[in-house]
Amino acid sequence: MALFIVQLLTGLANAMFLFLVASGLSLIFGVTRIVNFAHGSFYMLAAYLASSLAAALPLGPASFYAAVVLAPLGVALLGGLIEVCLLRRIYRAPELYQVLLTFAVVLVIGDAVKFFWGTENRTGPSPPGLSGSVPILGQLFPTYDLAILLLGPLLALGLWWVLHRTRWGILIRAATSDREMVGALGVNQAWLFTGVFVLGTWLAGLAGALQMPRVALTTVMDSTVIVETFVVVVIGGMGSAFGALLGAVLIGVLQAFGILWLPREFQLAIIFILMAAVLILRPWGLLGRPETESGTAGEALRREVGGRLRPPRWVWAGILLALMVLPSLLPTFYVWVLVEILAFALFAGSLQLLVGTGGMLSFGHAAYFGLGAYGAALLMKQAALPMPVAFLLAPLVAAAAALFFGAFCVRLSGVYFAMLTLAFAQIAFAVVHQWYDFTGGDNGILGVWPAASLAAPVRYYYLALLAAVCGLSALWRVTGSPFGYTLRAARDHPRRCQAVGVNVRSHRLLAFGVAGFFAGLGGAVFAFAKGSVFPDYLSMPMSVQSLVMVLLGGIHALAGAPVGAAVYKLLDIVITKYTGYWQAVLGGILVFLVVAFPHGLVGFVQARWARMRASLG
């Protein structure tokens, strides 16, 4: 019983931190409709900043508390700056661009933390006066956690007061339920948005600063906390601060008891299973409101440029010829680089079918790439199938998973669709990561080499080329088929599409399956090229990588995916040669792309081409 109560209190203390971060994210989403991936980065930055300030300030024991107050303010200021300089430009842009821009901020802050504080784990100072433990029913409970348990409800009350008793708070709530209306009432939206962003960032920073003495500070704090926060916010309902409280308590308590009672295979997955269950039963979260129809991903992505440019056949023939000849001219290292590019071209091309043609923004596409890779590895290692058979069956494993997960996802649209794809990808990641007996856990599976007859780099390269050419041609064929046109029709106007006899959900599900299949093929190519598979292949950064490639090429340009994959990989190689801060550079490139080339590289070329032709008559 005592253990139960102490565990419950621990869970509630954790919930207080989750609540602070999640209420900030939820407020920002509610008013600006931006899913802010950088929210976890502000949390991490505040934790590091507070630990340095506590050590540097000359105030004796009080410097700890001064740091806890100052660090969140500093971070909130930075948040305001980012809102004014970057986010303001993209409030009307499609969701994909918003997500990528905030993700660019994640990359830059991540590398900045590494630059200023190093990559080694740090421990923050202990809180003066609150560093011991108090006995509760014979069990020791940290005094600091007890203080947090008292502080948490006070902060929640304060937030309630701001939202319900101040004019500003009432405007925030009004904007959450109807942004246009508040604008029409003559409220200066720009400053309302900035204010909310600063408040939300401050809440994240406060959580980070308060967390500083409790946990080890690591450079992955940002992604850990943002994923948990998404779960909390989605469960509670996007845009609802009190939904965030409910979600945080549920998750905090569930995690605290999960550690005690659940087998480790489930510990990571449990919160995502809860999230998936909530999204399936109540897609808009426990306390949220259903999204209005205008919020579908398809509406936002409808931006066509420059007509439809089809490069003449000789261009394709030339590229193919170059790809046939290249490997015999290049050093082995670059042959493997090309193989990787081919694998990513399939990965990105399949995602483009979903995001570009289908208007379905998936945050979890890496699941199908990774399951293709694991499918290949497991079929060979556990089922003892010959390598070529494993290679050919792997895409089916990915397609089956895509059809299963997709069946739930296609019931939703917009941000909720994106969140559910993320949840399923995280569940798949957690299972692969924890199921040591079958998948090798985080040790991965080693020795996944191609059959002897295909093992020579150039030979494997030709296999990869064959897979990529067949795969991409098939994807393009599908895009131009009646199925592909109908998928675009469903993206442009789902209701109209239903009213010409199309079952939009099952149509989208089929697209999900097709995309899963080709992502899986890319995964299989990748697995045998690397000779090993790791849970990272299914992780969120991998999903984001594929989105970046699609965006680089241009979401509506058919040739965009392979171009995006190639440019991304080559940039990676070139930049890592000169600097250890590849992520920050990538972040900078992303910001530049979103702001300057919203149609991607191929889209840009197409638009130029169309204009040139027009001017020539």
Chain residues that interact with other proteins, rule: CB under 8 A: 302, 304, 307, 477-478, 480-486, 488-489, 491-493, 495-504, 507, 510, 514
Residue closer to other proteins (CB basis): 119 or 506: 506
Residue closer to other proteins (CB basis): 198 or 475: 475
- State in angstroms the smallest separation of the CB of 298 from other proteins: 10
Residue closer to other proteins (CB basis): 365 or 491: 491
The answer to whether the beta carbons of residues 484 and 357 sit under 8 Å apart is yes
List C-alpha distances in Å: 429 to 117, 155, 364: 29, 34, 10
Residue 330 three-state SS: coil
Distance separating alpha carbons of residues 404 and 368, to the nearest angstrom: 11
* DSSP β-ladder status, 122-123 and 139-142: unpaired
Residue closer to other proteins (CB basis): 123 or 177: 177
Count CB neighbours of 404 within 10 A: 13
Q: Could you report how far apart the first and last alpha carbons of the chain are, in Å?
A: 83
Give the distance between the most distant pair of CA atoms in the chain: 87
Residue closer to other proteins (CB basis): 293 or 442: 293
Residue closer to other proteins (CB basis): 131 or 506: 506
Q: What is the dihedral angle through the alpha carbons of 258, 260, 266, 270, rounded to the nearest 10 degrees?
A: 0
Distance separating alpha carbons of residues 340 and 574, to the nearest angstrom: 15
CA dihedral sign, ordered 572, 575, 581, 585: negative
- State in angstroms the smallest separation of the CB of 497 from other proteins: 8
- State in angstroms the smallest separation of the CB of 503 from other proteins: 5
Closest CA to 105 of 594, 591, 612: 591
Closest CA to 24 of 290, 244, 251, 291: 244
Distance separating alpha carbons of residues 110 and 119, to the nearest angstrom: 10
Residue closer to other proteins (CB basis): 52 or 498: 498
Residue closer to other proteins (CB basis): 535 or 603: 603
The answer to whether the beta carbons of residues 572 and 378 sit under 8 Å apart is no
**What are the E-state strand segments in 100-144?**
122-123, 133-136, 139-142
Residue closer to other proteins (CB basis): 21 or 510: 510
Distance separating alpha carbons of residues 557 and 211, to the nearest angstrom: 45
